[in-house]
Chains A and B, each alone.
Chain A
Amino acid sequence: MLDLSSPDDPADGLAAVVALRRLAEQLEAAEVEHAMRAGWSWPEVAEALGVTRQAVHKKHAKRLIAAGVELRRR
């Protein structure tokens, strides 16, 4: 569970921000791949993430194609 009381030392709090940002990026990469492998479409993934279809496609399509993931066209 997220402990919303901030750490005593700001250095720890700021480092947590850095680690969480990186974790969020990596989790996005893993979960978009997970969804596409499960047969989700780009518009569905985009809507679930709250971003545009173009944004999610631009960010992830190439690596998923390179990894041999079968992508639905729409």
Chain B
Amino acid sequence: MFQRFTKDARAIATGATKIARELGAPMVEAEHLLLAATRLEAPAAETLRAAGLDYDGLLDALQDETARSLAAVGVTASTPRFSPFVRAPRFAASAKLALERSLKVSLARKDNFIGAEHVVLAILRAPAGTVPRALECAGVDRVDLQQRF
């Protein structure tokens, strides 16, 4: 599957690992793939940024989502600070699922490669989890955004 990945699609995977580690996340999640995608010089990234999802905008939305989710059970907390882990974080189920879905998106479009646009669409298609909740916090219509790819 990875041999079908374009340079941009690979950059999303490697960028996500770096971002997850920098943010002190225990694992690489789908939201880290999307954060990495916002930084690309690719049409898919421009579409995200045009919807208000540049790196900082998405990061703000993710922080809002965390605060809201914790508040739902009466918890307020700031993110603890600590020295980073040395080993690269592993891919969590949400990130693996997004990469698997990107293959399906590519096949459905009859493309013979998996590009940034396929990976981004696959992330946006997740019906539940942190990403759709963060997009809601950002006021982004997930279904409408998918139609722009």
Determine if A13 and B73 form an interchain contact, defined as CB atoms under 8 angstroms apart. Answer: yes
**Would you call the interface of chain B mostly helix, strand, loop, or mixed?**
loop
Choose from A2, A29, A33, A69 the contact partner of B74 (Cβ within 8 Å): A2
Instruction: Count residues of A near B (Cβ-Cβ below 8 Å).
Output: 30
Identity of the chain B residue whose Cβ is nearest the Cβ of A21 in the assembled complex: B26
Would you call A29 and B85 a contact (CB within 8 A)? yes
| B129 partner residues in chain A, CB cutoff 8 A | 18
Q: Which residues of B contact A (CB under 8 A)?
A: 24-26, 65-66, 68-70, 72-75, 77, 79-87, 128-130, 133
Q: How far is the CB of B15 from the nearest CB of chain A, in Å?
A: 20
A16 touching B70, Cβ below 8 Å: yes
- Residue numbers in A under 8 Å from B82 (CB-CB): 26, 29-30, 33
Select one of B83, B86, B130 contacting A18, CB under 8 A.
Answer: B130
Instruction: From known contacts A3-B74, A63-B86, infer whether A19 and B66 are also in contact, taking CB-CB under 8 Å.
Output: yes
Which one, B26, B79, B133, contacts A15 given CB within 8 A? B133
Residues of A within 8 A of B77 (CB): 23
CA distance A7 to B74 in the complex (A): 10
